[in-house]
Amino acid sequence: MSVHHKNDMDLKQEMQLVEAAKIDPARFNVLYDRYYKSIFVFIYRRTADEDVTADITSQVFLKALINIKKYEFKGVPFSAWLFRIAFNEVNMYFRKNSTNRVVSLEKNGLHQIVQEVEEGENVDAQQRMMTALKQLDVDDVQLIELRFFEKRSFAEVGTIVGITETNAKVKVYRILDKLKKILGKKNN
Amino acid sequence: MTDINFNIDQPDLPEERINKHKDFSKLMYNYQLATKPLNKTPLHKYKHRRIYLIILLVLLVMFIIIEVMDKDEKPQEPATQEQIDTPGN
């Protein structure tokens, strides 16, 4: 089970908080306290700049508060909606600024993706995998990042990116195939 | 090729550093700014009523002038035969 999963009770409680915030924006503070750190970390892992992250995070919560009345529960935690806003804000930041994207990964995540594409498990394979990742489109890298480096469920990946769960699954497996081909070419 | 910098096993920022940026009252202030209607005073309660009345008057006069000019520009109907053949001619 991923760290981002919640049980039905949690989801119900969270929905009550959302409904309260829809009526009185000041009640949003509970959700703000609960998710500030995770949204901040999500953005920081993609920008690696503290001040930029602080700016984007405040923008995310402002947009969330302005649009909270439009929020509808779709079976995934409220945080997935916040992550979606954060995801879009980060993309907007990179469109406006010509700085390089940052992908923060743990060796475990890299190890997992290396296993998925059936590569030998050694340091060289991990290095080649990183080079292969650089050859993917930005959208593909983001999907890999969400699924393997942040260990999110396909439902959550779909919500964040704005596609269905099935579509997220299909896309991730297509990207893995692409990686296999890239690594295969390199080996030949 | 995508321009990506990989950060491997880099620790997240310490909680105190993250909390330093956390400010709910600032968020609420920005929210009020973003949602406050631009024109707070309804038009009819506006201080400079006279200016509005003058503008309205000018517009009314312009409308009347345009109407009168339109009527003048309309071609006159040709005179009927009866009018031409008046007795005495």
Each of the 188 residues of chain A gets a pLDDT tens digit; together they read 444 556 777 788 889 999 999 999 999 999 999 999 999 999 999 999 999 999 999 999 999 999 999 998 887 889 999 999 999 999 999 999 888 888 888 877 888 888 887 656 666 777 888 888 888 988 999 999 999 888 899 999 999 999 999 999 999 999 999 998 888 766 55
Q: A135 and B2: CB-CB below 8 Å?
A: yes
| Contact of A140 with A148, CB cutoff 8 Å | no
Q: A134 and B31: CB-CB below 8 Å?
A: no
A6: closest CA of chain B, how far (Å): 23
Q: Tell me the count of A-B CB pairs closer than 8 A.
A: 91
A169: closest CA of chain B, how far (Å): 22
Cα distances (angstroms) measured from residue B33 to each of A59, A138, B28, B29: 13, 35, 9, 6
Pairing state of beta strands A101-105 and B4-8?
Answer: parallel
Query: What pLDDT score was predicted for residue B89?
Result: 47
Query: What pLDDT score was predicted for residue A3?
Result: 47
Nearest CB to A65; choose among B5, B6, B27: B27
pLDDT tens, B42-74? 666 666 778 888 999 999 999 999 998 888 776
Which residues have CB under 8 Å from A180's CB, separation 6+?
Answer: A117, A118
Chain A residues inside the 8 Å CB shell of B5: 48, 100-103
Structure tokens at A120: 């030998």
A11: closest CA of chain B, how far (Å): 23
| Contact of A9 with A26, CB cutoff 8 Å | no
Nearest CB to B7; choose among A33, A104, A138: A104
Region for A151 from its dihedrals, namely left if φ exceeds 0, alpha if ψ lies in -120 to 50, beta otherwise: left
Which residues have CB under 8 Å from B54's CB, separation 6+?
Answer: none
d(CA A44, CA B9): 14
pLDDT higher than 70, residue B87: no
d(CA A32, CA A37): 9
Which residues have CB under 8 Å from A58's CB, separation 6+?
Answer: B21, B23, B26, B27, B30
Instruction: Give the ipTM of the model, two decimals please.
Output: 0.78
Nearest CA in chain A to B18: A37
